[in-house]
Amino acid sequence: MKPTRVASNVARVATRSFSALSTPTRALASGNGLLTQQTPKVAFEQRSSYHKNVIDHYENPRNVGSLDKNDPSVGTGIVGAPACGDVMKLQIKVDDNGNIIDAKFKTFGCGSAIASSSLATEWIKGKNTEWANKVKNEHIAKELCLPPVKLHCSMLAHDAIQAALKDYQKKQENKATKQE
């Protein structure tokens, strides 16, 4: 089967797709679309098994992108799930009052992983770091109606938030040490 180009607004976010034989393949989204070997019938069957909230965040991801990791006000969390190969980078930009003024993500993984990343950034943006620290994977999984087999995606989002907060706090401690 010859690969076909499928329009996608998931800029620079990779997704897992399925061929006509339902063999998992990885495909990288580019600015011009997503290169896959996916047939329309299989695409519909796979899509229909996801909850509408997952489909919404997958098809219209919020806050895709990157922030300057060298900026002292930016915390970066990179986490992965070796069992399935999903990798998630989540970044936060925090102001002097401890408020998250921006959040970005890039995820290589399935639709549930992308949706979990998108939802997580949407929730923490505009909140303070204490509030973001209280976001749990159960909250993400419940909002997206993730089935048990996809709970690891919400755990990745939770772990990415925690890693980004930890990185930000470490930068702040280093900044305070240098000023002394």
Would you name the residues annotated as active-site residues? 84, 153
- Rounded Cα distance between 85 and 73, Å, is 29
Element of type H or E holding 103: strand 100-109
First to last CA, the chain: 64
**Residues paired with 100 in a beta bridge:** 94
Q: How many CB atoms lie within 10 A of CB 156?
A: 28
Structure tokens at 64: 């895709």
63: left (phi > 0), else alpha (psi -120 to 50), else beta? left
